[in-house]
Amino acid sequence: MVREICASIPPVGLGTFRLKHDAVKPVLRDAIRLGYRHIDTAAIYRNEAEIGEVLQEFYASDEYNIAREDLWITSKLSPYDMATPRNALLKSLAALQTPYLDLYLIHWPAMARKPASSPENKRLRLEAWGVLNEARKQGLVRHIGVSNFTVEHLRELSETEWGIKDAFVQMEIHPWYWRDAAEIQTDFEGHNLSMVGYALLAEGKLMADDCPELIEGIAQRTSLTKVQVVLSWARKRGWAILVKSENETHLRQNLDIPEVMDTLTADDISAIDEISLGGEEKRCWDPRLVK
């Protein structure tokens, strides 16, 4: 049985990657007005301060009646700050104008500008994991986790005094690349991990001319868009999903996934699973190269 995500995280979140500085503001305003309550950012996205400004607008508005506790805010430790994780966290809190984060992730298993094979990478990520655990004890973050970590990276963390129980794992997930996520769920079944997927559209592959007819067929039969089909597949597998669009109609369609995902049958899920049988195709950064 697929294990569901932590019940407190809204299952559909707004991703803000590539929305630098003021570019994030109109998208975030539209998303919050539509009902998004899960916002995903990172220090390296260069938009935390702007997100913080927009959130203050909503907190001060009588029209929407939104308080900090109504939102789930995720940020991430930059690879450039791996040696100073506590200071990096405090900077993110200040930029976002919040006393705590709902989730703080180690963004990448290596230090920026260090060779992937450097033994320093392991030392730094283990030390950072200890700092994140201390920050959780102090109430600066409510949940912690990692992004773009492999099974082996997670195993290292699981063997520390802190362990990985109840941690979050954010990673690239789409029909062409999902088996690593499934392996993590299987190998660490007893640790109560919550999975969050990004790049669900496979960096544009879903919308390309060679999109599998299978997905097109499911979309036509269910009256969903191709995007909704893939997002529904991911949710049916128990993963939270990060979505991004600057189009209000698409933002609304993405947010509707919890209501429409049961349109997909078990056979649909199995068929989409099989798209990658001929070989998986990773579209984003590859942590498997990091020692």
Active site residues: 45
Cβ within 8 Å of residue 141, ≥6 positions away: 89, 100, 101, 102, 103, 104, 132, 135
Cα-based torsion angle of the residue sequence 7, 108, 233, 194 in order, rounded to the nearest 10 degrees: -20
Is there a contact between 157 and 126 (Cβ–Cβ < 8 Å)? yes
What gap in Å lies between CA 227 and CA 278, rounded to an integer?
Answer: 22
What single DSSP character describes residue 75? Answer: E
Q: Per DSSP, what are the bridge partners of residue 41?
A: none
Is 107 one of the annotated binding-site residues? Answer: yes
Q: Which of 178, 269, 179 is nearest to 215 (CA)?
A: 269
Is there a contact between 230 and 273 (Cβ–Cβ < 8 Å)? no
Is there a contact between 183 and 280 (Cβ–Cβ < 8 Å)? no
Which stretches of 43-178 are DSSP H helices? 48-60, 85-96, 120-137, 151-158
Q: Which residue has the tokens 């049988």?
A: 277
Distances (CA, A) of 94 to 14, 67, 89, 139: 21, 17, 9, 15
Cβ within 8 Å of residue 220, ≥6 positions away: none
Q: Show binding-site residues for substrate.
A: 107
Q: Show binding-site residues.
A: 107
